[in-house]
Amino acid sequence: MTKKTALHIISSARESKSYSKGLSSAIIDTLIRKQEIDVVMERDLTKTAPPFLDGNLIDGFYKHPAALNEAEQKWLTYADAVVNDVRNADILVIGTPMHNFGMSALLKAWIDQLVRVGVTYDYDENGARKGRFNGKKIYLAIASGGKLENQPDFIAAHIKAVFNTYIGNTEVWTFRVEGTAMPGFQVDYKEIIREL
């Protein structure tokens, strides 16, 4: 049987107290148990934080990879590693806390390192963007202190749009731990992912 690889992205700094990490880890465990994946690449963004975009990086992003000099290639080291991780993964399991209605700043910085014209996407003759990495699956694990019914959430829609526009056709499933800041909160990860 072909080996399937999952990329596990952790983006909460709360380590073992993190509910998004707890949920994304439960998803990974289930995928292993169901023999849907056999290799896991874990990337904890709190351990190796993505650099924020600066002028050098942005210049490098818009150059053809073959035209980069040695210094420019160095600036793109983290970005190249992120692209390779996503290229090599069949499945992405992405955990994020909700921070101010959006994804964690670390995860946003990781996405900003990933998306690159001529590398992850191209423009077609009509100016539409076409991703190069099609057919990946994403499982999103979102933890929020409050409940979705009481607040807006831009995380799932944002990540779906980024992947389907800039990376390639991607199926996305979203799982949520909600109300983590509410009195008496208790979590049952198995129940949240029962349909996985």
Per CB under 6 A, residues contacting ligand FMN are 12, 14, 18-21, 97-101, 143-146, 151, 180-181
Is residue 18 within 8 Å of residue 9, measured between CB atoms?
Answer: no
Least separation in angstroms between residue 147's CB and ligand FMN is 7
Least separation in angstroms between residue 85's CB and ligand FMN is 21
Distance of CA 150 to the CA centre of its chain: 25
Q: Is 14 helix (H, G, I), strand (E, B) or coil?
A: coil
CA dihedral 126, 132, 136, 139 (to 10 degrees): -70
Least separation in angstroms between residue 20's CB and ligand FMN is 3
Q: Which is nearer to ligand FMN, 82 or 141 (CB)?
A: 141
Q: Which is nearer to ligand FMN, 120 or 180 (CB)?
A: 180
Tokens 């949240």 identify what position?
Answer: 192
Q: Which is nearer to ligand FMN, 18 or 120 (CB)?
A: 18
Alpha carbons 72 and 61: distance in angstroms, whole number: 9
Least separation in angstroms between residue 117's CB and ligand FMN is 31
